[in-house]
Amino acid sequence: MSEPPAPHPWFDASETPRVLAHRGLVTDDALSAGIVENSFAAVAAAHAAGAIYLESDCHLTRDGEVVLFHDDELLRIADDKRRIDEVDLRELEQLMAERGGLVTLAQALDSFPDVRFNIDVKADAAAEAAGTIVGPFADRVLLTSFSDQRRRRALESALHANPAQRPATSAGSATVARLILALTIRSRRGVAAALDGIDALQLPERHGALRVVSPRLLEAAHRHGVEVHVWTVNEPDDMRRLVALGVDGIVTDRAADALALLKV
């Protein structure tokens, strides 16, 4: 088997294990003050705590702006029943003003130049726009989505904006399913095909009764130069156990605690 390709520049910022701040960092005090996930304040808090890697999500507003937001609607965050794609940027800025402040994808990349962003494209409509924004920052962005089709569209758009460097990427659900099947039937060719063009696997440790992150999966991923990041891990004992197992990154709501615990 040929040597795996050199790691993408996204991985150059630190040694493993990596701590990925899940939707930024919202402490208990910040939560009490009304600060919410994926806000400007949450991103700034993760940065201030020393997080180099930040996981976030993006959607497209009605007027075509890519914003950091997880849900496709405002109900959970702002007690508003509208969808993100039904709201203009200015309206969303007003809604988020007392919740930590709205941040667009472009603002995040410009405002935090030493942060590596892990961007999950949540909406089909956001794929091309997100890719175009990310293109000039491809060395410090990992693009992903549960939808492999959406992920590939975002990557194509990013490459069109910056042909010199594609963003890093992690596998979508269909690719992960193909990998697990190939591992189950012990098809080395199937494993190689599933991991082709993939820089990271970002997975839950378990999916229902199925154990997803296993020694066999870790060995196969590492053999192909692919990292394994596990989400969402908040308990210290689980962090220690998974790092001892060999995972390369922890996606966590408690980035400050994880950085101190894992000393990275």
pLDDT of residue 44: 98
Share of the chain above pLDDT 90, in %: 95
Query: Crossing angle for the helix pair 236-245 and 255-262, nearest 10 degrees?
Result: 50
Is the per-residue pLDDT at 3 higher than 80?
A: no
Encoded amino acid at 215, one letter? P
Is the per-residue pLDDT at 112 higher than 90?
A: yes
Burial of 44 (0-12, 13-18, 19+ CB in 10 A): middle
pLDDT of residue 88: 98
56-105 per-position pLDDT tens digit: 999 999 999 999 999 999 999 999 999 999 999 999 999 999 999 999 99
Confidence at 250, pLDDT banded by 50, 70, 90: very high
Asked if 207 is an active-site residue, the reply is: no
Is the per-residue pLDDT at 161 higher than 90?
A: yes
Under a CB-based contact definition with an 8 Å cutoff, are residues 171 and 198 in contact? yes
State the CB neighbour count (10 A cutoff) for residue 83: 16
Which of the following is catalytic: 22, 47, 59, 229? Answer: 22
Asked if 22 is an active-site residue, the reply is: yes
Residues in the chain, overall count: 264
Encoded amino acid at 140, one letter? R
Confidence at 210, pLDDT banded by 50, 70, 90: confident
CA dist., res. 123 & res. 173, Å (int): 15
> Which range (1-5, 174-178, 221-225) has the least confidence?
1-5
Under a CB-based contact definition with an 8 Å cutoff, are residues 20 and 252 in contact? yes
Question: Closest by alpha carbon to 50, among 136, 149, 116, 146?
Answer: 116
pLDDT of residue 1: 53
| 16: three-class secondary structure by DSSP | coil
Which of the following is catalytic: 8, 59, 70, 229? Answer: 70
